[in-house]
C-alpha cells in the first residue's frame, strides 16, 4: 500500500499468469469499505500521548505501530514494526483535492437527474435525440483512457443545458428532459452548481427553494457518479473496475502509521516531543471533524430551543422571521465548520491552501490552531520535486560503476583525456575476461587484491555447469595473500576478473542538465592525486561547465563493445563541431587563447631552455599526419628515442636521434646583443620565435592560403 496524489492510499494489484511472469501495477482510489477493512483502528481523538503512552484512538495509537522501542505494537506485538494504517471516518463526504477538475468534467458529461450520458458515438442515436452530442470527432486520435478524453467530451457537451433523454428508451428507462446546471470549481476546494434564471423559472416553488437553499456537496457528487453505468464511465475515459470516480468524494481517510511520521524527542531522555508535520495535519482534521459534529444540529432541535427561549407565539409579529433567522444562523455555522473540515483534509496534500483559500471571508490560515509560517512537509512536498520520494528515492538516480566529484582544470594532457582520482580508480572496476594474452597480467592483479594498487576486486567463475546458471563470485577483499596467490594460479580461460581502472580505460563523462549531444562525452582516463576530476579547459564549452565548484558524473563502461561504440560515437575528437550550427564546439578559451596570441606576437622570442620546456609538453606526433593521434614513443635506456621518423624526418629507421633539439628548426636569431638602460651590452645565444614553436606543432600536410600569401 502506497500513498497517492490525493492523500489516499493507493492500492497496488498485480496479475500473475502461468505462462508469464510479468508484474502489472495499477494505481487506484480506495473506496470507503477497503479503507475500513485495511485499517486497524479509527482515529477519533486529536491527542498523541497520555502520560507517555500513545493515546488510544489518537493519531499515534499503538495499534498502528510505535516509534519507541520500549513500546510494543498492539497489532503485531513487535518493537521494530513497519506500521499499520488507521482511518478517520468523517461525518460528511469531502472532495479529494487532486481530483476536483476531473469530477467537474465528469458531472458535465452526465445528467444529474437520470445519470445518463449527454453524449453519444452513434450518428443514428444523435439524430433520434437532438440534444445528444456526437463526440466521435472530438475524441478522434485521443487515448481511450485519460484526462484528455474526458476533457474533450466535457467541452463538447458543456453548452447544452437540458437533458437530451426527452423520450423513453427501449430498455425501459423513462424520459427525463430535466434542466442541467452549470458545474464549476469554486475556491479551489468545492464544486458549485448554478441554474440559470430560465431554468429556475420552469421549476416548482418547492424545487426552486430546495435548489437555492441547499448547497451542492460531496455527497451529491458521490450519489450522481454512483448511478452512472460503468460503460458510460469507460466511454468518458475512466476505468471503473480499478478506480471509480465516486471514490474521489469519500468519508474515510487513510491515516499513515507513526513509522512514516515519527515523533522526535527534543532532548535525550526528555519528555517534550516534536511532532511530524503530517501528525499535526491529522490532528487538525480530527479537530475540525469534531467541531463540525458539534455544529450539526437538527432543525427540530433548533426550533425547540427557539421556542423554549421565546415561546410558541406564531401569531406574534416577527416571530416567524426570528425563527427562520435562527435556523439560517445554525446552517451558516454548519457550513463554515464543513468548509474548515474540507480545508483541513485538503491540507494533508497541499498545506499551502491555507494561505489562499477563504472561508467566510477570511483566509483559512487565520482560522487554524497554531498556524505556522514555515512551509509544512505535506504529502505533495514528500512526493514532488527533486528531493521527493519519486525522484529522490525511487527514480534510480544512484547507479553502479559511477562517480561524482568537483571538476578542476588540467592543461598538461590531451583534450580527450580525463584525470580521475587514484582513490576512485581503486573502487570502480572493469570486467576483464581471462584470455591467453592477459592471463599473466590479471593473475598479478588478483595477487595484489582489492586494497592494492592496480589490483582487482572480484573473480567470477563462469561456465561451471556450461549453461552460465551457476556462476560464482569470489571476493578478493575477504581473502589473504596466500589464498589470492593460489587463486591466481588457477585462473581459467573464460573467467571474469573485475579489475581496478587503469591508465587508458574509457569512461563517459556527463554534466547535468544533459541538454544536447555534447553534454555527455567519452574520455580516456589517467590517475591523478586528490579528489577532483581534471577536465581539459577546451572541453568546458559543450558541458557549459566552469571551475567554481561544478560537479560532474563519470560512468565506467562495462564491456569492450561499449568502449568501441563510445570511441567511435562519443569521443572528444568526434565532438569538435556541433551539429546544431556547424560551429566549433571544442576550442581554445580564455587564458589559453590569450596565451596563444601573446606567444605568436612578432616580438615573442624564447631561448633554448624555454623552447625545450614548451616542446616537452607535446604528447602526440607533431609532424605526423593530421588525422592520426600517435602517442610519444617510449624512450630507450640511453635516453634517446627509438623511432626517428615519429618527428616526420627522413632518417633511417635503424638510426637513433640524440635529442629533440636535433629536429628543431634553425633559430630566428643565431646571436644577438641587447643593451640595458645603463648602456651595458649583453650577448646572448640563439632565439626562436613563438611562431616557430607553434608551426612545429602543425602537420606538414596543413596549408593555409590568405589572400596572396600562402603558408
pLDDT tens track for 541-551:
999 998 998 99
Q: Are 379 and 348 in contact (CB under 8 A)?
A: yes
pLDDT digit string, tens, across residues 58-76: 998 989 988 777 778 888 8
Q: pTM to 2 decimals?
A: 0.61
Structural domains of the chain in order of their starting residue, each with its CATH number? 95-252 (no CATH), 296-398 (no CATH), 414-525+548-574 (3.30.1490.180), 600-710 (no CATH)
Q: What is the mean pLDDT of the chain?
A: 81
Cell of 461: 567463475
Where is average pLDDT lowest: 348-352, 514-518, 707-711?
A: 707-711
User: Are 64 and 84 in contact, with CB atoms under 8 Å apart?
Assistant: yes
Mean per-residue pLDDT, 302-310: 72
Q: Do 249 and 92 touch, CB atoms closer than 8 A?
A: no
pLDDT computed for residue 4 by the predictor: 39
Closest CA to 121 of 146, 148, 152: 152
Question: Per-residue confidence at 464, pLDDT binned at 50, 70, 90?
Answer: low
Please state which of the ranges 91-100, 197-206, 638-647 shows the lowest mean pLDDT: 638-647
Q: What is the pLDDT at residue 270?
A: 56
Instruction: Work out the average pLDDT over 16-29.
Output: 58
Give the rounded distance of the alpha carbon of 312 from its chain centre.
Answer: 67
Pairing of strands 533-535, 402-409: parallel
Cα-Cα-Cα-Cα dihedral sign, residues 617, 622, 627, 633: negative
Most confident stretch, 26-30, 329-333, 536-540: 536-540
| Residue 709 backbone dihedrals phi, psi, to 5 degrees | -85, 145
Return d(Cα 22, Cα 1) in angstroms, integer. 19
> Mapping DSSP to helix (H, G, I), strand (E, B) and coil, where does residue 151 land?
helix
pLDDT of residue 263: 81
Distance, in Å, from the CA atom of 367 to the CA atom of 389, rounded to the nearest integer, reads 31
pLDDT at 580: 82
The pLDDT confidence band at residue 650, using thresholds 50, 70 and 90, is very low
pLDDT score of 23 more than 80:
no
pLDDT in tens, 487-525: 999 999 999 999 999 999 999 999 988 888 889 999 999
CA quadruple 380, 381, 386, 391: dihedral, nearest 10: -50
User: What percent of the residues of the chain are helix, what percent strand, and what percent coil, each to the nearest 5?
Assistant: 35, 20, 45
> What is the rounded distance in angstroms from the CA atom of residue 30 to the CA atom of residue 4?
10
What is the structure's pLDDT at 332?
A: 79
Contacts of 650 (CB under 8 A, 6+ apart): none
Q: Which pLDDT does position 426 carry in this prediction? A: 92
- Contacts of residue 202, Cβ cutoff 8 Å, sequence gap at least 6: 179
Q: What does the alpha-carbon distance between residue 227 and residue 114 come to, in Å, rounded to a whole number?
A: 8
Helix 100-109 crosses helix 147-157 at what angle (to 10 degrees)?
50
Report whether 86 contacts 40 (CB < 8 A).
yes
Tell me: pLDDT of 164 over 70.
yes
The stretches of 520-579 forming alpha helices (DSSP H) are 540-543, 560-569
Total number of residues shown for the chain: 711
Angle between helices 481-489 and 439-448 (to 10 degrees): 170
> Predicted confidence band at 475 (pLDDT cuts at 50, 70, 90)?
very high
Asked if the model's pLDDT at residue 24 lies above 90, the reply is no
Judge whether 62 and 54 are in contact, CB under 8 Å. Answer: yes
E strand or H helix at 108, and its extent?
helix 100-109
**What per-residue confidence (pLDDT) applies to 264?**
76
pLDDT band at 630 (very low <50, low <70, confident <90, very high): very low
Q: What is the pLDDT of residue 287?
A: 93
The pLDDT assigned to 320 comes to 64
Tens digits of per-residue pLDDT, 577-618?
988 888 888 888 888 889 889 998 988 888 888 888 887 777
Supply angle C-alpha 421, 424, 428, rounded to 5. Answer: 140
Confidence of residue 486 (pLDDT cuts 50, 70, 90): very high
Q: Which grid coordinates are listed for 670?
A: 643565431
Identify the pLDDT of residue 466.
57
Q: How many helices (H) and strands (E) does the chain have?
A: 20, 30
Degrees, nearest 5: CA angle 507-511-513: 135
The reported pLDDT for the residue numbered 661 is 55
Confidence of residue 683 (pLDDT cuts 50, 70, 90): confident
**Proportion of the chain above pLDDT 70, given as a percent:** 83
What's the confidence (pLDDT) of residue 362? Answer: 63
Amino acid at each position: 500500500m502506497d500513498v497517492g496524489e490525493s492523500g489516499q492510499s493507493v492500492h497496488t494489484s498485480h496479475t500473475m499468469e502461468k505462462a508469464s511472469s510479468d508484474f502489472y501495477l495499477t494505481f487506484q482510489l480506495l473506496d470507503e469499505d477497503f479503507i475500513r477493512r485495511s485499517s486497524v483502528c479509527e482515529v477519533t481523538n486529536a491527542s498523541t500521548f497520555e502520560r507517555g503512552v500513545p493515546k488510544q484512538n489518537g493519531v499515534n495509537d499503538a495499534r498502528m505501530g510505535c516509534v519507541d522501542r520500549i513500546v510494543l505494537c498492539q497489532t503485531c506485538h513487535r518493537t521494530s514494526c513497519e506500521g499499520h494504517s488507521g482511518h478517520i471516518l468523517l461525518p460528511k463526504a469531502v472532495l479529494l483535492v487532486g481530483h476536483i477538475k476531473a469530477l467537474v468534467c465528469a458531472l458535465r458529461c452526465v445528467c444529474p437527474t437520470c445519470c445518463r450520458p449527454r453524449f453519444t458515438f452513434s450518428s443514428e442515436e444523435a439524430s433520434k435525440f437532438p440534444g445528444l452530442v456526437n463526440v466521435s470527432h472530438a475524441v478522434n486520435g485521443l487515448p481511450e483512457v485519460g484526462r484528455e478524453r474526458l476533457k474533450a467530451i466535457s467541452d463538447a457537451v458543456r453548452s447544452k443545458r437540458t437533458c437530451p433523454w426527452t423520450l423513453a428508451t427501449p430498455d425501459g428507462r423513462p424520459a427525463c428532459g430535466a434542466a442541467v446546471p452549470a458545474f464549476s470549481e469554486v475556491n479551489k476546494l468545492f464544486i458549485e452548481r448554478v441554474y440559470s434564471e430560465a431554468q429556475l423559472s420552469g421549476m416548482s416553488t418547492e424545487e426552486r427553494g430546495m435548489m437555492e437553499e441547499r448547497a451542492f456537496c460531496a455527497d451529491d457528487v458521490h450519489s450522481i457518479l454512483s448511478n452512472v453505468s460503468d460503460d458510460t464511465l469507460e466511454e468518458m475515459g475512466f476505468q471503473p473496475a480499478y478506480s471509480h470516480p465516486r471514490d474521489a468524494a469519500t468519508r474515510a481517510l487513510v491515516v499513515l502509521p507513526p513509522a512514516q511520521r515519527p515523533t522526535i524527542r527534543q532532548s535525550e531522555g526528555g519528555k517534550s516531543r516534536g511532532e511530524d508535520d503530517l501528525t499535526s495535519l491529522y490532528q487538525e482534521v480530527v479537530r475540525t471533524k469534531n467541531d463540525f459534529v458539534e455544529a450539526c444540529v437538527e432543525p427540530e432541535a433548533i426550533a425547540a430551543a427557539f421556542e423554549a427561549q421565546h415561546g410558541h407565539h406564531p401569531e406574534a409579529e416577527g416571530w416567524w422571521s426570528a425563527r427562520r433567522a435562527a435556523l439560517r444562523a445554525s446552517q451558516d455555522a454548519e457550513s463554515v465548520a464543513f468548509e474548515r473540515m474540507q480545508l483541513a483534509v485538503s491540507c494533508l496534500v497541499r498545506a499551502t491552501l491555507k494561505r489562499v483559500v477563504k472561508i467566510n471571508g477570511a483566509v483559512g490560515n487565520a482560522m487554524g490552531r497554531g498556524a505556522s509560517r514555515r512551509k509544512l512537509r505535506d504529502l505533495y512536498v514528500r512526493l514532488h520535486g527533486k528531493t521527493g520520494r519519486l525522484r529522490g528515492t525511487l527514480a534510480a538516480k544512484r547507479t553502479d560503476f559511477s562517480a561524482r566529484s568537483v571538476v578542476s582544470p588540467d592543461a598538461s594532457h590531451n583534450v580527450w583525456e580525463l584525470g580521475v582520482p587514484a582513490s576512485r580508480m581503486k573502487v570502480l572496476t572493469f570486467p576483464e575476461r581471462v584470455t591467453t594474452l592477459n592471463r599473466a597480467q590479471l593473475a598479478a592483479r588478483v595477487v595484489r587484491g582489492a586494497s592494492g594498487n592496480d589490483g582487482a576486486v572480484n573473480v567470477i567463475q563462469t561456465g561451471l555447469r556450461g549453461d552460465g546458471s551457476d556462476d560464482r563470485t569470489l571476493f578478493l577483499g575477504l581473502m589473504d595473500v596466500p589464498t589470492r596467490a593460489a587463486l591466481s594460479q588457477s585462473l581459467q580461460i573464460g573467467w571474469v576478473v573485475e579489475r581496478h581502472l587503469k591508465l587508458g580505460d574509457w569512461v563517459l563523462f556527463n554534466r547535468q542538465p544533459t541538454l544536447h549531444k555534447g553534454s555527455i562525452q567519452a574520455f580516456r582516463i589517467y590517475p591523478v592525486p586528490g579528489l577532483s576530476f581534471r577536465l581539459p579547459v577546451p572541453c568546458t564549452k559543450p558541458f557549459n561547465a566552469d571551475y567554481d565548484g561544478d560537479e560532474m558524473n563519470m560512468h565506467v563502461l562495462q564491456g569492450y563493445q561499449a568502449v568501441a561504440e563510445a570511441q567511435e560515437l562519443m569521443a572528444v575528437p568526434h565532438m569538435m563541431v556541433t551539429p546544431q550550427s556547424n560551429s566549433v564546439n571544442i576550442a581554445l578559451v580564455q587564458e589559453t587563447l590569450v596565451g596563444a596570441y601573446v606567444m605568436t606576437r612578432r616580438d615573442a622570442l624564447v631561448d633554448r631552455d624555454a623552447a625545450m620546456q614548451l616542446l616537452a609538453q607535446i604528447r602526440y606526433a607533431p609532424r605526423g599526419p593530421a588525422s592520426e593521434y600517435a602517442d610519444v614513443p617510449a624512450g630507450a635506456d640511453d635516453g634517446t628515442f627509438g623511432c626517428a621518423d615519429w618527428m616526420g624526418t627522413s632518417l633511417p629507421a635503424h638510426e637513433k636521434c640524440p635529442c629533440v633539439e636535433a629536429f628543431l628548426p634553425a633559430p630566428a636569431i643565431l646571436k644577438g646583443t641587447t643593451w640595458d638602460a645603463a648602456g651595458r651590452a649583453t650577448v646572448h645565444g640563439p632565439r626562436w620565435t613563438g611562431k616557430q614553436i607553434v608551426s612545429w606543432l602543425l602537420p606538414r600536410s596543413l596549408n593555409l592560403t590568405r589572400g596572396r600569401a600562402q603558408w
